[in-house]
A and B are shown apart, each in its own frame.
Chain A
């Protein structure tokens, strides 16, 4: 395995790591059906 292949593999690992972290912490998932109002205040109902 020469240096170029090693560098390419390392860069691929870096790209995968970065995209994983961006997806995990910064990617807003599209919400499916919204079942409840998030600001639901139980005291108002009971």
Chain B
């Protein structure tokens, strides 16, 4: 059996590390979490020359091994723990040709851990454009490494990189810098106390708050004739180390790199001036958002209609093709409509992620972060909070995990608490179905009312997050320091492969993550809707026949009345009627009440629940939308989904905390039930009040 090489892909943020990872692994990748924590772990398999396989781990982006956030700690923990099953046989440090000086700081630190290390200089295609030339043999000699000049955009250099990885045993492990240079006396003592340990590794253990193997800081402190320094002294020595490293890097690049400024053409500065302008920057961002939401609507309508009618036909076909009975009904009235309620939204979700991914890939998203930082400060947040708030449009869970790179605890806590207001993809199905029912299809200056409503809901979510952040900033008495650094990557044409992989990954996780829950809930709902206690359910047929004895009902009409009688007296109907008094002032009936309760597990369950409830007992081949549009208000008559009840529902979903997984992650990130419970009570209470006001004003 061929040996598998462990390869750690390390680099500063925005060096194209993920593009290198995608180029090496293609579709052979999976995303998970590091054990015990929620930092994302990307792994993949790469086939190397001569039948060798490499297990590639894409580590979180970090500027140095002096970690300041939890996801950066992941990198150090892995590199310091030889017993970790993922400990790399070879480290591949990815750098950006335009930021080589800064990127080499991390490289020299990893090299000093005596791990075989390859330096990837990425975005090599920009060298001629920027007037950069490199003396590769000289740099290889100075840095004691092998260099792969790569352009993931032009697909150059990947084969050479694979060749270097497969020959990793030939790589030199000579360090770039002698660790003793940091403080000779201190390091001499350290060497005496731990003669068998690598000095630089010991230094990192002393200066970092990480665990590794059997040697930790307590053990170092416990050695009688050796005392660690004070925190302030250690900080000073860390700064000295950084200066020494930059001296080494400057000397190396003086000969190894030349930049001809006359050849460099810079469009970036001109673009930055417009895109981050204090007025035009916001106008352009708003226009981009408008275009995105309009396109989501215009492009997805055809595939969505196709999916909707296909599921309705499948349900009908199942009912006719299989023998009648409980399981057939479960399939045709429970499982298929429930799943249809999620599959129908694949086109819109895929288009949303397509646009988000293009904005990220092009480098525009970093400009948005920079642009927003100015405004964010007023609300007690920093520019770094924009990343969780924007990624919250996909899902609050990874967004809350992304707060780990916010250094200030107060800013981090506020960001965690307000992120669930951002419109996540789970809200999207609810918004889309209700908007299509209650908002007319007309256009205003070429923009559809429905698209404008959707954009407004996104802005409401974002606005609610900002306002609650401002309130929390005033209420929370936590002292904290704050600073904001953002990397402005170059503008580039998005790589099709990266965009496609992102869209597939995000859509897959939406469908399979939510799909399993929806399937399970659909099954339970079908049981609750198909069985019930007492006379009202068991003698439904006789009751209806007696009630309508004088009227000449057709068979279909009679069947519909019986189904309605059964549903109303089923377990589900009884539960729905019990909660109806609380939700009637909001304009909802007991069926919507059931959907509200079931969607506390996950918001997208709402549509699946209604699809299941409306399908039970129905013989018609109808789409979900048509069934919802045909529902009649039991009290007032007329359609149940009116403008007033629709807006009330939209606002309820915009503010309510309806995601058990998010609550669990908030508990984990704050290590307390206090914050998720407060979130649940305050957000849902606020949602109820706003929905109530909206319905009462608009009805």
Residues in chain A within 8 A of chain B (CB atoms): 1-3, 5-7, 9-10, 13-14, 16-18, 20-21, 24-25, 31-36, 38-43, 45-46
Contact B326 A42 (CB under 8 A): no
Among A6, A17, A39, which residue has its beta carbon within 8 angstroms of that of B326? A6
Sample 24 A-B pairs with CB under 8 A, ordered by A number. A1-B325, A7-B325, A10-B326, A10-B527, A13-B327, A13-B330, A17-B519, A17-B521, A18-B520, A20-B516, A20-B520, A21-B517, A21-B521, A25-B601, A31-B35, A31-B36, A32-B35, A34-B36, A36-B70, A36-B73, A39-B670, A42-B409, A43-B408, A45-B209
What A residues does B69 contact at CB under 8 A? 42
What A residues does B74 contact at CB under 8 A? 35
**Docked complex Cα distance between A15 and B660 (Å):** 21
Whether B468 is near chain A, meaning CB under 8 Å from some CB there, is no
What A residues does B523 contact at CB under 8 A? 13-14, 16-17
**Docked complex Cα distance between A12 and B161 (Å):** 52
Q: Which of A21, A36, A41 has the most CB of B within 10 A?
A: A36
Whether B37 is near chain A, meaning CB under 8 Å from some CB there, is yes
Contact A35 B412 (CB under 8 A): no
What B residues does A41 contact at CB under 8 A? 409
Residues in chain B within 8 A of chain A (CB atoms): 34-37, 68-70, 73-74, 77, 209, 211, 322-323, 325-328, 330, 335, 406-410, 412, 479-481, 516-517, 519-521, 523-524, 527, 601, 660, 664, 668-672
A45 to chain B, nearest CB (A): 6
Contact B407 A42 (CB under 8 A): yes
Known: A13-B523, A33-B36, A36-B37. A7 touches B481 (CB 8 A): no
**Docked complex Cα distance between A14 and B327 (Å):** 10
**Docked complex Cα distance between A46 and B409 (Å):** 11
What A residues does B209 contact at CB under 8 A? 45
Known: A21-B520, A32-B36. A39 touches B671 (CB 8 A): yes
What B residues does A14 contact at CB under 8 A? 523-524, 527
Which residue on chain A has the smallest CB distance to residue B664?
Answer: A25
**Docked complex Cα distance between A35 and B78 (Å):** 11
Contact B211 A35 (CB under 8 A): yes
Contact A10 B323 (CB under 8 A): no
Among B34, B325, B328, which residue has its beta carbon within 8 angstroms of that of A35? B34
**Docked complex Cα distance between A6 and B45 (Å):** 44
Contact A17 B37 (CB under 8 A): no
Give the 6 A-B CB pairs with smallest separation, nearest first.
A6-B325, A38-B671, A17-B520, A17-B523, A9-B327, A32-B35
A40 to chain B, nearest CB (A): 7
What A residues does B517 contact at CB under 8 A? 21, 24
Contact B77 A35 (CB under 8 A): yes
Q: Which of B328, B408, B523, B671 has the most CB of A within 10 A?
A: B523
Contact B412 A42 (CB under 8 A): yes
**Docked complex Cα distance between A31 and B36 (Å):** 6
What B residues does A31 contact at CB under 8 A? 35-36
Q: Which of A2, A6, A13, A33 has the most CB of B within 10 A?
A: A13
- A-B contact sample (9 more), CB < 8 A, given A5-B327, A17-B519: A6-B325, A7-B327, A14-B524, A16-B523, A17-B520, A18-B524, A36-B73, A42-B408, A43-B480
Known: A25-B601, A42-B68, A43-B481. A35 touches B327 (CB 8 A): no
Contact A43 B407 (CB under 8 A): yes
Contact B36 A35 (CB under 8 A): yes
Contact A46 B481 (CB under 8 A): yes
What A residues does B323 contact at CB under 8 A? 1, 6
What A residues does B77 contact at CB under 8 A? 35
**Docked complex Cα distance between A40 and B35 (Å):** 17
Contact B660 A17 (CB under 8 A): no
Contact A3 B480 (CB under 8 A): no
Known: A24-B517, A33-B35. A3 touches B527 (CB 8 A): no
What A residues does B669 contact at CB under 8 A? 38
Contact B326 A7 (CB under 8 A): yes
**Docked complex Cα distance between A31 and B325 (Å):** 44
Which residue on chain A has the smallest CB distance to residue B410?
Answer: A43
What B residues does A20 contact at CB under 8 A? 516, 520
Known: A6-B328, A32-B35, A35-B37. A43 touches B409 (CB 8 A): yes
**Docked complex Cα distance between A39 and B671 (Å):** 6
What A residues does B73 contact at CB under 8 A? 35-36
B79 to chain A, nearest CB (A): 14
What A residues does B519 contact at CB under 8 A? 17
Which residue on chain B has the smallest CB distance to residue A7?
Answer: B326
What B residues does A36 contact at CB under 8 A? 36-37, 70, 73
Contact B660 A25 (CB under 8 A): yes
Which residue on chain A has the smallest CB distance to residue B672?
Answer: A39
**Docked complex Cα distance between A25 and B601 (Å):** 9
Contact A10 B668 (CB under 8 A): no
Which residue on chain A has the smallest CB distance to residue B322?
Answer: A1
B526 to chain A, nearest CB (A): 8
Which residue on chain A has the smallest CB distance to residue B231?
Answer: A45
**Docked complex Cα distance between A14 and B412 (Å):** 41
